[in-house]
Structure 1
């Protein structure tokens, strides 16, 4: 039976959807299949270009320029360019970006990490009426925002290790994005900004991280976004206004993690806290907290403590899910660990806690075992506990640890308990 080309019989709209899901280089090659495919790819509304080392000396920009010259779609829905290994010219970048904006692009992603020269985006980027999502990445890519920018439709903005022309470039950009809901920022020491100010009333989700910064580098974050509901913060910052915050992930050292800072998170329902020095204990109440993960990533290994955990338990009356995670170094039997028997049982253990997880459990120290035993013995509503020991080549030692955990007393749950308590490795 002869082969039947059923794909070529499909409607143009369906073919365009298929070609939009593959890199543009592959879409272009379909023109050699048949006359039917000859010009179909030129109407694809989504263009994706990515360089690889396998391409050798052939520049991906040649492909981009030629394909854009042949492109016939009136509206360009998405343009994604990732050039990490090849030389890029500023004029090549500018032409591609300008073309996309002129064709009403909605999603623009530009990753030019290999750039060796300064690149300024064309001015029309900052006046696009159609951009909904903008992703910019590259140490030599400069955000140079004009005095009167306007991005009325922009909802998602991601800035990865870009440079800023001056201290106020990012401020002008954010101030003129009235619909912005999601903002991700990754900074390093060379971005030309000391105080990164985020004051966006419409902002719903924000992720902020600094890299390459040692100690007090003089850089800081100022956050004032009252509509914020989800926050991931991986450095210190001055927080002013977050009354509706629902979910937060925070990584801080002890001298920055204090009551004044933590009070802004008192409304959260889901909280992940990474402490690099766990000597600090918070007295802030968390009346809405139902899911809490405490990661002990101790930079001062001589001062390890479980005390902050129990203060959080005492101050989180309706907590249902508790996760403890430790750096492997904290599982060493030679490191001290502070743990004191509690004078009173936290209310959440008696009436709400349903899931208890301890990741990378060392189990060699008496204090760790006592802490786990205490939680198991006092959590009356517990449905599931999962203790994951640190990986060890000593199978006998690991099996003994698991047997010790299984033998710990667990307070009886109600007769309606359907999901049995279990210990897994």
Structure 2
């Protein structure tokens, strides 16, 4: 804005556009614009967004005073749509409680309650709370706020309430709930809830036992429960996730702590992303019957999905399971994205036997050793390779290892209707690249219309840069 022409042009904009511009930056930055000219001196007071970090202020008193004065003296109380607060207190509030006034004025529960209640048209509430001791901080009014569109709470203690009716998107990260039952009630009492994210990584006073998600309106659910960050006692067993959401179209499960999952009424067009371990012991080749039953039931519950992504850990579970019995059939699955450990890749044909109508396959692999052997186990060619598989992509850059060529050969020689095979070639010496390409050219292709696209790895970002003009051949 140092140029006079640019300053004059911006000054011609109406107030509501200037407010919109300032709402896209943190409030601290918006306040700084007040020194540019008289035109900007009070514009920031009418922005619909308040985005603050308490560390931007010399002390808690200055932080609290700023927000309270903003809501009182500006138009903020009537036009504020988004309140985003990063509250990280380095010492207990009781150390500041020399006076009753200071105690009340700096108490997080009191402050946040006042701020939320004053923002009568609040649509987006985003609060990160880090405090040396747990306090009941959020006002009960958030459970009945009819204007909220999205609510993101991180590390926030939530008190129980008799009545809950929130019509917004919930994003819940490492919060402290009264109990599991209240969390279930919180979710099921939102009649038009469509998007829910539940994240549990840190250690808090509350340890989630069973996550129950019951919702007739939910369309997207993300569950991220990392059990590696918890210190379990002998009583911390039998953790589970129970999902009953008949309208669910997207489900992401990343859970290393739960031992069982119950998923009912998953839609036919659902997309799932699964990274679960069932608390499995991968040092053994045997799965006991009860654990096998849990794994088999889980995949049966997912058998109606159309798009599925599985992690390397989950495929380890499947690899062990296949030593005892086959997977259930997935008749509707058309896209499969898998991250394989090399030790489990040999089971790929057996897995594909369960996907008779698969059209698209994306693989991510570990790096093979140069002479590592790959044995693809299967007594017959999977049905999808004979009749439906049209696209195969190997995203991991390959460098011409024996096992990598065998994998490429398997698909090219056995896929009858394959239209596109895409792979990424690790950048190396020109003669090495040429040798790999020549070897690929010599491979027989079952599908006469199959196009092989080889991309060249980009070294800086370890991604693949398209080189079709050189390495695109039929």
TM bucket, shorter chain: 0.7 to 0.9
From 126, 142, 145, the equivalent of 1:128 is 145
Gap runs ≥5 in structure 2: 94-105, 281-290, 457-474
Question: Take 1:411 and 1:396, find their aligned partners in 2: how far apart are those partners?
Answer: 28
Confirm whether residue 410 of structure 1 aligns to residue 445 of structure 2.
Answer: yes
SS in 2 for 1:279: helix
Structure 2 counterpart of 1:243: 266
- Distance of aligned partners of 1:368 and 1:33 in 2 relative to their CA distance in 1, 3 Å threshold: closer
Question: Take 1:65 and 1:334, find their aligned partners in 2: how far apart are those partners?
Answer: 68
Q: Is the 8 A contact 1:65 1:96 kept in 2?
A: no
Question: What is the correspondence of 1:191-270 to structure 2 with a 5 Å cutoff?
Answer: 191-211=206-226, 212-213=229-230, 217-218=236-237, 219-235=239-255, 236=258, 237-244=260-267, 246-253=270-277, 255=280, 258-270=295-307
Superposition deviation, residue 338 in structure 1: 4.5
Question: Take 1:204 and 1:213, find their aligned partners in 2: how far apart are those partners?
Answer: 29
Structure 2 counterpart of 1:36: 39
Structure 2 counterpart of 1:119: 135
Superposition deviation, residue 174 in structure 1: 1.2
Q: So what's the TM-score if we normalise by structure 2?
A: 0.75
- Distance of aligned partners of 1:41 and 1:22 in 2 relative to their CA distance in 1, 3 Å threshold: same
Structure 2 counterpart of 1:284: 328
Question: Take 1:392 and 1:111, find their aligned partners in 2: how far apart are those partners?
Answer: 43
From 80, 93, 96, the equivalent of 2:84 is 80
CA RMSD after TM alignment: 3.2
Confirm whether residue 310 of structure 1 aligns to residue 349 of structure 2.
Answer: yes
- Distance of aligned partners of 1:35 and 1:86 in 2 relative to their CA distance in 1, 3 Å threshold: farther
- Distance of aligned partners of 1:379 and 1:94 in 2 relative to their CA distance in 1, 3 Å threshold: farther
Question: Take 1:38 and 1:119, find their aligned partners in 2: how far apart are those partners?
Answer: 38
Question: Take 2:161 and 2:217, find their aligned partners in 1: how far apart are those partners?
Answer: 22
Question: Take 1:146 and 1:5, find their aligned partners in 2: how far apart are those partners?
Answer: 53
Q: So what's the TM-score if we normalise by structure 1?
A: 0.83
The size of the alignment, in residue pairs, is: 405
Question: Take 2:432 and 2:89, find their aligned partners in 1: how far apart are those partners?
Answer: 47
Gap runs ≥5 in structure 1: 299-303
SS in 2 for 1:95: helix
Structure 2 counterpart of 1:421: 452
Question: Take 2:276 and 2:385, find their aligned partners in 1: how far apart are those partners?
Answer: 27
Q: Is the 8 A contact 2:109 2:139 kept in 1?
A: no
Confirm whether residue 379 of structure 1 aligns to residue 415 of structure 2.
Answer: yes
1:38-85 deviation line (CA, Å, top 9, x unaligned):
322222112222467xx5856683544443343313132111123458
Structure 2 counterpart of 1:100: 116
SS in 1 for 2:247: coil
Superposition deviation, residue 175 in structure 1: 2.4
Question: Take 2:73 and 2:437, find their aligned partners in 1: how far apart are those partners?
Answer: 65
Superposition deviation, residue 19 in structure 1: 1.7
Superposition deviation, residue 292 in structure 1: 0.2
1:124-182 deviation line (CA, Å, top 9, x unaligned):
112212112100012xx21222122222x22x101111122223221221122111111
Structure 2 counterpart of 1:301: none
Q: Is the 8 A contact 1:297 1:327 kept in 2?
A: yes
Q: More deviation in 78-87 or 127-136?
A: 78-87
